[in-house]
Structure 1
């Protein structure tokens, strides 16, 4: 994505933020991720020890023997062969300091260790910081599976979607919808600012996790963003899910600490939010964009490019979605933290409506092109899908104004909330499942890849009734006046963008 983003005019990070000074003098609390790996416990004082550069680079070639200061400061020689087996003293143990003799080294695996490629388990012990009375312990493991699970990073050019001509507005309401879209839609320059920040942050985060990749996801990239949209980032440490309560929180705590200590001149207010999917919220001082960063939310990467394909498949999709999002925000039903709909669910609701018209405006991409939207596709290939799907030619010639009216009417009077689930994957309403994910939920919107309920935040009847009431009242107003101002103040909306 934007391989030449370094030339876009943003000043690079200051040199003092580029190279770490003894950054890895911090205690490393690492745990094995597979049961057969052996633990090496070594109690030592690491105040004046710098880890070798192979730990930063992620190189798995053997680490050469080197001198480390243990216990009383006496140097011992380390190598790839074990020094101790059990409690029996070996011949080459004669000159080892007494406090080191008391410790055990079990290492049948002679491979070198990359200390920052494992993730701690929740029961990992916490050790004292350098400089405290009790010296820290270094737990380090060789974890080849994690290295193989993420292909070596390469910055692939991001293909822009095909240019599509905006629909012609033949009535005043449709023209109002188009005007809001043209003023409020995210510009290319807005996207490049976010992409440039992603590129710089990726370089910094790879100092901690060398094999990781940072993806821009969500509305910034799926085609439905506005000029005021926040940026969503996904840090991929391996191409499989991580435990969001333990592993993801620990990884994000390291990232937050990194932002606070090394990037305080560029990043402000980094906060770790321990939600179901934990995030680090921060603001980039250069672009003035607010960001949310999560770890290994792989579904978020896949659905970003699925929605991006829908966005550019038909010219009426993006204007309609943007106006619906603005309308929902104005009526305060677009905030999952307050028990209403998140933007992702609103987008899926619009796509579902366009799929279920008597003459559909959109198909099911996952049914028509399963190979392009497979859950097993490697993540570094998913960005290619939006440019490989041909435009969808619908026989439905409805104007934007009529589609907006139809959308409000569909969810106000036609959709069976009690028994049906919204499914973009199947392009129809499905019977509501009976699982825990769907029980006691008033709105059911299926996530196209993992099948969860994207509208699970709506779990109070009062909030559900408020959402239905806004659909109904807005439909009646818009039908009688045919003026978008009746449900959305246009001047204020376009000023706020």
Structure 2
């Protein structure tokens, strides 16, 4: 339930993401004023905080000119026409995303339309509007029409159906952003730092039941103990009547976990873990350049969760590690489905970039037109086969940054690690949670068994309870 008492409107199952709503991978979502209509009008959003434009992004590297000139055919003309008709009646905005003043895809002040230093009054929040969201530019094109080309067999159609029924809806994204905005408007929280939404919520790999990840970036330059900061936040949030089940988890990256009262929506809040902002942008970019990424990652996460190999706290693989494993597989095919974006666009993924200078996903990266036109089912089967029979766990490191498997000898501290998945920015091992042989064997066995079953049955139900998962996701509140 929403803090002001209104429940999120459920969209009909046959129309989960209408054309006029922002996509979870829409890079202009925050630049239209966060969830426009849920905070303040977008044309007023700059008046509430100090903001200065940044210089335009550097020009593209010459070796990518041909890629960038390729024509992309994933726009549905009928949708584009409706969008033009819809946007023509919108309120004019002084923050048009095509201007130089709209480069920041993760700037919290852009996300907090109507940012205020006054403490929020949860009992007097503005009601949800009855009108739809009105983007001032076309959102990132929905990929349904494009994806149908890759779902022309039974297995692929099952992958597509599971994805479409489970994917995060625009209403879910707005709901999470509303919470982030409310928290940020608390004077005590705003004085110490800024909240950024990160993780699958913003990368496009979330489902309806996914938790929301928040990164709290402190204003102060000196380092502070994350546990002490999270303890302070915990005390502040105990006074908020719509927050419950506050729990401080003292992990390697400590988090404050809390839940929206009366619902299943869970938030995980960390302090100064800014690499999460960078890798969210990276995954979001991959989801943008190739439409098959999101269905594959969502289905792989559901498969791994069902077989109990998707829980870092239990010594198995995190969702982030699984996503990187999918990307790596698609990069290493004989005819790659994906490039290495970090190699091709180093100016966009420079680890030294200030957080507020991280560029938009779509501005410098066109869709990647791969010659590999394999269906979703073929790619899912190939993913399982690759890690079951081809990839050398003992000798190689999974590297999305390099776009290939790297020898372990390049990472001398990882020689004793069972699974090595390189974090693309910090170059740490994001699969370090897998340190027990029994867990490692269970992961390898599951890849092998699922591949053998699926190649025989060619039915997603043979390795995953599809209908049960769909029912659980569509009933999520």
Common topology (TM > 0.5): yes
Unaligned runs of 5+ in 1: 11-56, 59-150
- Matching residue within 402, 411, 416 for 1:426: 402
Check the 8 A contact 1:423/1:445 in 2, yes or no: yes
Q: How many residues align?
A: 353
- Matching residue within 462, 465, 471 for 1:489: 465
Q: Does 1:197 align with 2:179?
A: yes
- Matching residue within 199, 215, 221 for 1:234: 215
Q: Does 1:8 align with 2:38?
A: yes
User: Taking structure 1 as reference, are residues 407 and 153 closer, same or farther at Cα in structure 2, changes over 3 Å only?
Assistant: closer
Shift of 1:308: 0.4
Shift of 1:434: 6.6
Check the 8 A contact 1:305/1:386 in 2, yes or no: no
The Cα offsets for residues 391-413 of structure 1, whole Å up to 9 and x where unpaired, read as: 00000011111101100000000
Aligned to 2:63: none
1:140-289 superposed matches below 5 A: 154-155=109-110, 160-164=139-143, 165-168=146-149, 169-204=151-186, 206-210=187-191, 212-238=193-219, 242=223, 247-260=225-238, 262-263=239-240, 265-285=241-261, 288-289=264-265
Shift of 1:347: 0.2
Shift of 1:161: 3.3
1:357-436 superposed matches below 5 A: 357-382=333-358, 384-433=360-409
- Larger Rg over CA atoms: 1
* Partner-residue secondary structure (3-state), 1:214: strand
Separation in 2, partners of 1:395, 1:241: 49
User: Taking structure 1 as reference, are residues 209 and 437 closer, same or farther at Cα in structure 2, changes over 3 Å only?
Assistant: farther
The Cα offsets for residues 441-471 of structure 1, whole Å up to 9 and x where unpaired, read as: 2000000000000000000011000000000
Separation in 2, partners of 1:269, 1:330: 25
User: Taking structure 1 as reference, are residues 240 and 446 closer, same or farther at Cα in structure 2, changes over 3 Å only?
Assistant: farther
* Partner-residue secondary structure (3-state), 1:350: helix
The Cα offsets for residues 272-301 of structure 1, whole Å up to 9 and x where unpaired, read as: 111111110000227641000000001001
* Partner-residue secondary structure (3-state), 2:205: coil
Shift of 1:349: 0.1
Shift of 1:207: 2.0
Higher alpha-carbon deviation: 311-320 or 343-352: 311-320
Higher relative contact order (CA 8 A, sep 6+): 2
- Matching residue within 437, 441, 460 for 2:436: 460
Check the 8 A contact 1:187/1:227 in 2, yes or no: yes
Check the 8 A contact 1:234/1:294 in 2, yes or no: yes
The Cα offsets for residues 28-47 of structure 1, whole Å up to 9 and x where unpaired, read as: xxxxxxxxxxxxxxxxxxxx
The Cα offsets for residues 206-251 of structure 1, whole Å up to 9 and x where unpaired, read as: 42452621000001111100010000000001487946xxx11111
User: Taking structure 1 as reference, are residues 361 and 239 closer, same or farther at Cα in structure 2, changes over 3 Å only?
Assistant: farther
The Cα offsets for residues 17-56 of structure 1, whole Å up to 9 and x where unpaired, read as: xxxxxxxxxxxxxxxxxxxxxxxxxxxxxxxxxxxxxxxx
Check the 8 A contact 1:5/1:199 in 2, yes or no: no
Check the 8 A contact 1:419/1:432 in 2, yes or no: yes
TM-score by structure 1 length?
Answer: 0.67
Separation in 1, partners of 2:447, 2:221: 39
Higher alpha-carbon deviation: 478-487 or 371-380: 371-380
Shift of 1:152: 10
The Cα offsets for residues 126-185 of structure 1, whole Å up to 9 and x where unpaired, read as: xxxxxxxxxxxxxxxxxxxxxxxxx99732689953433324222101000000000001
The Cα offsets for residues 357-414 of structure 1, whole Å up to 9 and x where unpaired, read as: 0000000000000001111222123251344311000000111111011000000000
Unaligned runs of 5+ in 2: 1-29, 41-48, 51-105, 114-134
The Cα offsets for residues 61-98 of structure 1, whole Å up to 9 and x where unpaired, read as: xxxxxxxxxxxxxxxxxxxxxxxxxxxxxxxxxxxxxx
The Cα offsets for residues 408-440 of structure 1, whole Å up to 9 and x where unpaired, read as: 000000001001000000000001147575243
Aligned to 2:26: none
RMSD of the alignment, in Å? 2.5
Shift of 1:6: 7.5
The Cα offsets for residues 285-334 of structure 1, whole Å up to 9 and x where unpaired, read as: 27641000000001001000100010121111111111111000000000
Check the 8 A contact 1:312/1:318 in 2, yes or no: no
Aligned to 1:101: none
User: Taking structure 1 as reference, are residues 495 and 425 closer, same or farther at Cα in structure 2, changes over 3 Å only?
Assistant: same
Shift of 1:5: 3.5
User: Taking structure 1 as reference, are residues 152 and 226 closer, same or farther at Cα in structure 2, changes over 3 Å only?
Assistant: closer
